[in-house]
Structure 1
Amino acid sequence: MRAAVLREHGEPLDVTDVPAPTLDSEGVIVDVEACGICRSDWHAWMGHGEWADDAVSPGQILGHEPAGRVVDVGDSVETIREGDRVALPFNLACGSCGYCQTGHGNVCTGDHPHALGFEQTAQGAFAEQVHLPSADYNAIRLPDGVDPRDVAALGCRFMTAYNALDARAGLRAGEWVAIHGCGGVGLSAIQVATVLGARVVAVDVRDEALDVAADLGAEVLVNAAEDDPVAAVRDATDGGAHVSVDALGVAETCRNSVRCVRPRGTHVQVGLTTDAEKGEVSLPTDWMTRHEISFLGARGMPPTNATDLLSVLASGAVDPGTLVTKTVSLDEVPARLAAMTDYGTVGVEVMTR
């Protein structure tokens, strides 16, 4: 099969012929119909993560936001059948450890947790086919009539945004939420917040991204290149956001997000850091203590919770397809990944052929 393979960090992915994935008894093989191109792929391509022993090795097939059709099923799989259309979570879980069994498979600590597209044991979906292990637990069966392009746009970004705002922060109707960084996950968070009935302040340095944020329901737009984002958010929300999200992952946006919440407010960290921060950001801890500020992390979504999100998708309450600004072929993926280096993409781009 053909796939886009990482040969050297920062160099174009090699689109070439590779062996097809091997089926195990608890897994399924999926024909990839669509796969989102995510900033996490860019981090992997650039070689980020060595500070956490998490850098992706050469030889890796990237791509972690796929949807497709099951074409082969392992002997031990009970709930998934050939022909089923499924989405794959990037946080592949074992399905049997204590965290999986209590509905938190996104932080699985079992014998076989994998990050799809980031580990040699979990080759990704910038390819014609991909293997899904522990399919009975990990496979997310799609509702009828859902476009695989839209599911790929959900990808890790929508799942992470939904988990961050609903499960982690407990965002409620009428509350203010500030979204720092209007890339794929930030724009997804705006849609999720709107569905939850919250009021949104969108923060970015690009007017084009802020225009998209407004179309998705953001009430207040802050260009951080022109205005102090902390002061602007505090003014707009009468004292600070109830919840704030750093959807970018640089030190400045993280600290801005923390500083713009009101007393007893909540910051949620979604964006991963770059090699400038190397996983560490200094924070105003005394101020956070004084005002009882909560700092939370959010990573993906437990596969067991995905049914709720897909129900929202099927109802039409959210439309991830509106975030898709470009569909590309496998051959175009290397260039589109490289375009993220200078923030040359807007919205979500999806490989569909």
Structure 2
Amino acid sequence: MRAAVLREYGEPLEIEEVPEPTLEPHGVVVDVEACGICRSDWHAWQGHGEWAGDDVPRGQILGHEPAGTVVEVGDRVETVREGDRVALPFNLGDGACPLCRTGHGNVCLNGRALGFGPEAPGAFAERVHLPWADHNAMALPEGVAARDVATVGCRVMTAYHALVHRTGFHPGNWVAVHGCGGVGLSAVHLADALGARVVAVDVRESALSRARDLGADAVVDGRETDVVREIKGITDGGAHVSMDALGRAETCRNSVRCLRIRGEHVQVGLTTDAEKGEVSLPVDTLAMAERSFHGSRGMPPSRYDELFGMLEAGAIDPGRLVGREVSLSAVPERLAGMTNYETEGVEVVTDFGG
């Protein structure tokens, strides 16, 4: 089968013929119909993450936002059948560790990260293996296209978990979103659907325009204004919840500083080699104003029904996040476009033969 393989950091991915996935007894093989191209793929391609023990090895098949149809089923799988249409999370729990059993499978003690390690080859490929399928496979709602949920396995569910599970978010809150790439736009769309008032921050007019279309009540162009002062003015004292969806020192600090008293920051964006995982913060004001700083990673598979319930009810439409459909052979070029923030919205691979 054809796949996009990381051979050298920063060099174009190689489109190669690779062996078919190996079916494990607890797993399934999925014929990939769509797979989002995420900034986390870009981080992997650049070789980032060594400072956190999270760098991706050469030879890895990237891609971690797939949806498709089950074509093979392991003999220990009980709830998934051949022909089922599923979305796959990138944070793969085994369903058995203490964290999985208490609803925190996104940080499973024995987990694998789809597309980020040799034990879990990714989905920039015609087919992909999903381990522990009874725990991880997410049945797609009827009538929903794979293309439209290709972002759910990472960006949409990451934004949902960060807002709803990691903070004390309430309808009517002011939510600030710093960085309007895929996960940031997902956060804007979800926060609006959940009844928040949303301020979106970016330095690209096209991204801010898309944020408006997805429900932002106000936008802030970081090139033209003092972001913190502007947000505090718009929100009459600061955001209740603020998310850094980009992972730069500036956006992280702006997110913390734009909070009102007892506000909550949630960190979703991962840093680059400019920060190497370290960002200085105004800790005295965090303490004195009782502001909180949360980390967030993916979402427990056990809670996907909340998100799919919103999708089925028509409260959210992940397809509105899609900016472009591309072929597998275009993935190297589209990753390179992320270096200077040239992509818009979510780009999705839907043609695995071209």
TM-score, with normalisation over the residues of structure 1?
0.99
Letter in 2 for 1:4: A
The answer to whether residue 10 in structure 2 is matched with residue 5 in structure 1 is: no
Q: CA deviation at 1:65?
A: 0.2
Give the match for residue 340 of structure 1: 338
Question: Which residue in the other structure is 1:67 paired with?
Answer: 67
Which residue in the other structure is 1:95 paired with? 95
CA contact (8 A) 1:171 1:196 kept: no
- Kindly indicate whether the alpha-carbon contact (under 8 Å) linking 1:245 and 1:269 is maintained by their aligned counterparts in 2: yes
Alignment map for 1:138-287 (pairs within 5 Å): 138-287=136-285
Q: Residue 11 of structure 1: CA displacement?
A: 0.4
Q: Give 1:296's aligned residue.
A: 294
Bigger Cα displacement from structure 2, 178-187 vs 147-156: 147-156
> Alignment RMSD, CA only?
0.6
For residue 116 of structure 1, what is the amino acid of its counterpart? Answer: L
Verify the 8 A CA contact 1:69 1:84 in the aligned structure 2.
yes
CA contact (8 A) 1:73 1:81 kept: yes
Q: Is the counterpart of residue 46 in structure 1 residue 42 in structure 2?
A: no
The answer to whether structure 1 residue 30 and structure 2 residue 40 are counterparts is no
Tell me how far 1:170 sits from its aligned partner. 2.7
Distance 2:312 2:59 in 1: 37
CA deviation vs aligned residue, 1:76-100 (integer Å, no higher than 9, x gap): 0000000000011000011101110
| Aligned residues of 2:322 and 2:346 also touching (Cα < 8 A) | yes
3-state SS of 2:277 partner: coil
**8 Å Cα contact 2:87/2:152 also seen in 1:** no
What CA distance in whole angstroms lies between the structure 1 residues aligned with 2:199 and 2:299? 24
Q: How far apart, CA to CA, are the structure 2 residues paired with 1:289 and 1:153?
A: 36
3-state SS of 1:208 partner = helix
2:144 counterpart letter in structure 1: V
| SS of the residue 2:299 aligns to | coil
Q: Deviations over 1:159-195 (max 9, x none)?
A: 0000011111131111100000000000000011011
Is 2:147 the counterpart of 1:135? no
Structure 2 segments unaligned to the other structure (5+ residues): none
Q: Which residue of 2 aligns with 1:82?
A: 82
Checking the alignment, whether the CA contact within 8 Å between 1:201 and 1:221 is kept in structure 2 is: yes
Structure 1 residue 103, shift from structure 2 partner:
0.8
Cα contact 1:187–1:323 (8 A) shared by 2: yes
Q: What secondary structure sits across from 1:342 in the alignment?
A: coil
2:118 to 120, 128, 137: 120
- Partner secondary structure for residue 179 of structure 1: strand
Provide structure 1 residue ranges, at least 5 long, that are not aligned to the other structure.
Answer: none
d(CA) in 2 for partners of 1:320, 1:171 = 21
1:44 shift after superposition: 0.1
Q: Tell me the secondary structure at the aligned position of residue 207 of structure 2.
A: helix
* TM-score, length-scaled by structure 2: 0.98
Structure 2 CA distance for aligned equivalents of residues 88 and 215 of structure 1: 27
* 2:95 match: secondary structure: coil
Cα separation, 2, equivalents of 1:192 and 1:338: 28
Moved more, 32-41 or 307-316: 307-316
Q: Distance in 1 between matches of 2:114 and 2:223?
A: 35
User: What residue in structure 1 maps to residue 350 of structure 2?
Assistant: 352
Q: Deviations over 1:123-142 (max 9, x none)?
A: 00000000000000011111
Moved segments of 4+, more than 3 Å:
none
